[in-house]
Amino acid sequence: MVIESAQDADHEGLRASPEQLNWTVDGLTIAGLAWGPADGRPVLALHGWLDNAASFEVLAPSLAGCRIVALDLTGHGLSDHRSDDATYLIWDDIPQLLKVIGQLGWPRCTLLGHSRGAMIATLLAAAMPDHVDALITLDGLFPSPQDDRQFVAQMRDSLRYTARVARQAQRRFSSLEDFIERRQRYGVSRDIAARLAVRAVEETADGFVLRNDQRLHSPSAVKLSAGQIEVALRALSVPVLTIWASEGLLKRDWELDVLALAEAAIGELTSATVDGHHHFQMEPLAASEIARHILDFIAGLDKGGTEAASTAS
């Protein structure tokens, strides 16, 4: 792990200006940001589709007592793109995430994921519970399940779209402002778009170029069925906190179905809803309420661990 820079300004025990980190894993450079004391509760934060580690820069300084490490997932932000023969299915990052956790020296950690990052975190927690002590998801849990009868059609669409993307030129913007204005068209505020822009685009002689791998726009070749999602949810053996935006994914019927399935399948599940839109963790008022829910959840975990240790002794 390489620490490129660090700032000394503190905010409630956390660095307001994050450390810039990167790791080399499987020949890929993975970049990230970190807040909080090195000996704080380890929390690995995973952003959503086409976002980056800056997705957590409003929320992270409020999570006192935590060491928040937020990654740019492969193909996003300052991290490397996957090789030409690779894909970006939601489980493809998991081997590299486990190796980053290993390089951080964390026997176990809390997973914090937003949207697509929540889906990745849920799969990781289900498959490798020995590396995870708790799971926290923000406006996401699993993607919409797919009917088995759509399996071939889904793969066909993915293959065709991926072939088209490979022939397309990189997306360019005349200025940083141009990118910010275009990103706002997808339902985020100017402040959120500007925060994401720092790691989302780079300046070249021909203007600003989008850093994200264009293949991220391709439909997944394989999507999970309702049965597979249920199996994964039932496999979760760690405490789970899921926080939803009032104007976010719960507006979609399929996510309500996934939540209902989660409530029936997960043994230790706490759910909350916070006023805000899909990127609510980047909205100051919503982020403050999200932080309160997370800190209360963590306090409950710590209390339970202390009581268990007392009973055992």
Question: What's the average pLDDT block by block, 10 residues per block, for the chain (313 residues)?
Answer: 50 66 97 98 98 98 98 98 94 98 98 98 98 98 93 95 82 92 92 96 91 93 95 97 96 89 94 97 98 98 61 41
Distance CA(313)–CA(307), nearest Å, equals 10
pLDDT of residue 111: 99
Q: How far apart are the first and last CA of the chain?
A: 38
* Residue 26 φ then ψ, to 5°: 55, 35
Q: Which pLDDT score, from 0 to 100, does residue 170 have?
A: 79
Nearest to 30 by CA among 122, 130, 103: 103
Distance (Å, whole) CA 89 – CA 126: 16
Phi then psi dihedrals of residue 77, to 5 deg:
55, -130
| 124 vs 111: CA distance, rounded Å | 9
Cβ pair 44, 73 in contact under 8 A: no
**Type and span of the H or E element at 109:** strand 109-114
Specify the long-range contacts of residues 21-28, CB closer than 8 Å, at least 24 apart: 21/69, 22/78, 23/99, 23/100, 23/103, 25/96, 25/99, 25/100, 25/103, 26/95, 26/96, 26/99, 28/74, 28/79, 28/80, 28/82, 28/96
299 found inside a domain: yes
Q: Are 12 and 64 in contact, with CB atoms under 8 Å apart?
A: yes
* Residue 2 confidence (pLDDT): 66
Q: What is the pLDDT of residue 16?
A: 64
- Residue 121 contacts residue 112 (beta carbons within 8 Å): yes
Count of domains for the chain: 1
Q: Does residue 303 sit within a domain? A: yes
Q: Is 225 a catalytic residue?
A: no
CATH code at position 235: 3.40.50.1820
Residue 258 in domain: yes
Q: Which residue among the candidates 115, 144, 246, 288 is catalytic per the annotation? A: 115
Model pTM score: 0.92
| Nearest CA among 143, 133, 163, 118 for reference residue 237 | 133
Domain that holds residue 95: 2-150+223-312
Q: Answer whether residue 188 is part of any domain.
A: no
At residue 169, what are phi and psi to the nearest 5 degrees?
Answer: -75, 155
> Could you tell me the CA-to-CA distances from 29 to 25, 71, 86, 231 in Å, in that order?
6, 11, 15, 33
Rounded alpha-carbon distances, angstroms, from residue 306 to 47, 76, 150, 301, 310:
31, 39, 49, 9, 6
Structural domain contains residue 191: no
Residue 58 lies inside a defined structural domain of this protein: yes
Residue 202 lies in a domain: no
Do the beta carbons of residue 136 and residue 70 sit within 8 Å? no
* 293 within some domain: yes
Give the model's pLDDT for residue 200: 96
- pLDDT of 221 reads 94
